[in-house]
């Protein structure tokens, strides 16, 4: 995993059918919390997103996507799930969005 929390990692929106990708923002690895902090361009800065490993099944890591909205109660809530790709990225599904958020070369 990337252990430098000051080096941004690319975030991309990917069509579910794989037909295209667009920039989505950047992520930073938070070593002391074992999670990635996501800065997703389409959301206001008051919404903070995090992705962290939560379990391992058959050698594959499962991830949870959490959000904090500082304008509401400031508490974390689960908003999606993630799974690793063969290229070392993390694919995240965040309903109700039809595209998949991809953290490029995370591992």
The model's pTM is 0.84
CB-side neighbour CA atoms (13 Å) of 22? 6
**pLDDT band at residue 5 using 50, 70 and 90 as cut-offs:** low
Q: Write out pLDDT tens, residues 12-69.
A: 998 877 778 899 999 999 999 999 999 999 888 888 999 999 999 988 899 999 999 7
Task: Tell me the mean pLDDT in the region 77-91.
Answer: 91
Which of the residue ranges 55-64, 66-75, 76-85 would you say has the lowest mean pLDDT? 66-75
Q: Is residue 63 helix, strand or coil?
A: strand
Inter-CA distances, 33 with 5, 11, 13, 36, 69, Å: 11, 20, 25, 8, 19
What's the pLDDT score for residue 107?
54
**pLDDT band at residue 1 using 50, 70 and 90 as cut-offs:** very low
What's the pLDDT score for residue 2?
46
Task: Copy the structure tokens of residue 62.
Answer: 């499962």
């Amino acid at each position: 995993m990337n252990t430098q929390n000051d080096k941004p990692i690319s975030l991309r929106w990917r069509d579910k059918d794989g037909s295209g990708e667009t920039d989505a923002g950047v992520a930073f690895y938070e070593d002391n919390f074992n999670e990635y902090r996501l800065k997703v361009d389409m959301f206001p800065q008051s919404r903070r997103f995090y992705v962290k490993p939560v379990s391992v099944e058959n050698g594959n890591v499962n991830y949870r996507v959490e959000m904090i909205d500082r304008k509401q109660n400031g508490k974390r809530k689960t908003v999606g799930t993630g799974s690793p790709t063969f290229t070392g990225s993390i694919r995240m599904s965040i309903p109700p969005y039809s595209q998949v958020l991809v953290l490029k070369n995370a591992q």
